[in-house]
Amino acid sequence: MKILILYTSKHGFTKACTTYLSDRLIGKVDVQNLDDNSQLSLDGYDWIVMGSAVYMGKINKKMTLFSDKNRDKLLSHNIALFTCCTTPEESDKYLLTGFSKRLYEASKLNTNFGGKLQRDELTFFERKLTDLISKTEGKVQQTFYENMDSLVRLINNSEQSEKV
């Protein structure tokens, strides 16, 4: 089984989530930051997992462009989508804004892994902005391990049912 995890992360939380996933998935797992390489081949993968951190109400633009450009190819794979953000109740809205409706509907799991505001890594402007956000909306830090575990189970079990 071959799995590709595509992600974008500015301050590291999303990246850490992809490490949690890849450590638990059975098979060959490629983890790729879209900021490092957007000329990827999607051939040969059984699953493609795509996720992004949310900034100012949006997933990363590169992720949106990549998924739009490769939509038909992505639709021929098992896909799963996730966000990392501090307002998890908005996750589906962010996914539907950032990915096409067809991808969202074809996705075997649309989920959220939580988020973390790493204050010491933020610019002055980001800090001021997130002070406002966290006061009114989100939690400063929460990690939904149960959602990551559900995705791992879904993918690992799909390999077992293929073998039956």
Ligand X SMILES: Cc1cc2nc3c(=O)[nH]c(=O)nc-3n(C[C@H](O)[C@H](O)[C@H](O)COP(=O)(O)O)c2cc1C
Instruction: Tell how strand 78-84 and strand 47-55 pair up.
Output: parallel
Nearer to ligand X, 78 or 84 (CB): 84
Report the 10 Å Cβ neighbour count for 107: 20
Nearer to ligand X, 134 or 156 (CB): 134
Distance between CA atoms of residues 132 and 127, nearest Å = 9
Q: Give the nearest distance from C-beta 88 to ligand X in angstroms.
A: 7
Q: Give the nearest distance from C-beta 40 to ligand X in angstroms.
A: 19
Q: Give the nearest distance from C-beta 159 to ligand X in angstroms.
A: 28
Q: Give the nearest distance from C-beta 158 to ligand X in angstroms.
A: 26
Nearer to ligand X, 78 or 91 (CB): 91
What residues make contact with ligand X under the rule CB under 6 A? 9-14, 53-57, 84-87, 90, 115-117, 122, 126, 129-130, 133, 138
Nearer to ligand X, 78 or 138 (CB): 138
Q: Give the nearest distance from C-beta 73 to ligand X in angstroms.
A: 25
| Torsion angle (degrees, nearest 10) of CA 139, 84, 82, 35 | 170
Nearer to ligand X, 76 or 141 (CB): 141
Residue that is written with structure tokens 């996914």 in the block: 95
Distance between CA atoms of residues 5 and 79, nearest Å = 10
